[in-house]
Amino acid sequence: MTTTPQFDHSRLEIVSRSECLRLLRSVPVGRLVYTNGGLPAVRLVNFLLDDDTVVFSSGRGDKLRAAERGDVVAFEADEVDLERHIGWTVTAIGHLSVVTREEAAELRRTLPVRSWLPIEDAQLVRVGVESVHGRRLVPWGERRRAGA
């Protein structure tokens, strides 16, 4: 069964939840968007998807404190081909939390979770994805045919 692509008001293709999760699995780097001192903060992180949970490593600091508080955060990843003017972006929203030591040990055994920095006391942090939205930039001809 083939579904007809849906487009938003900007003529970007709306991506389904399952496709959003597939796209997130296809890239190693994303951006964590959270609140730090009442202001928005954005940090680049390398991550993995464990089912529908974003997992990354964090040292002591503002990301870990946000996880300890259980803050609501956004997580964004994308891929864009500037020459061909195509690509996609996915944004996930959820609560940030610290992974327990027992679960972290299991995740490290089953997933290639790595930190960019040699942090001895790094802890695993997760975003429990509660909602996810994606858009795909498709060639102009396809957007015109969609009639949006």
Q: How far out from the chain centre does Cα 22 lie?
A: 11
Specify the pLDDT at position 143. Answer: 47
Q: Which of 11, 127, 145, 24 is nearest to 78 (CA)?
A: 24
56-111 pLDDT, tens per residue?
998 888 999 999 999 999 999 999 998 888 999 999 999 999 999 888 888 888 87
Is the Cβ–Cβ distance between 50 and 111 less than 8 Å? yes
- Report whether 127 contacts 53 (CB < 8 A): yes
How much is the pLDDT for 139? 78
Q: What is the pTM of this model?
A: 0.86
CA dist list (Å): 122 to 5, 17, 57, 116, 125: 42, 30, 6, 11, 9
Give the model confidence (pLDDT) of 22-71 as tens digits.
Answer: 999 999 999 999 999 899 999 999 999 998 899 999 888 899 999 999 99
Task: Quick: pLDDT tens for 7-26.
Answer: 888 888 999 999 999 999 99
Domains within the chain, CATH numbers bracketed: 18-143 (2.30.110.10)
Angle at 13 between CA 50 and CA 135, to 5 degrees: 40
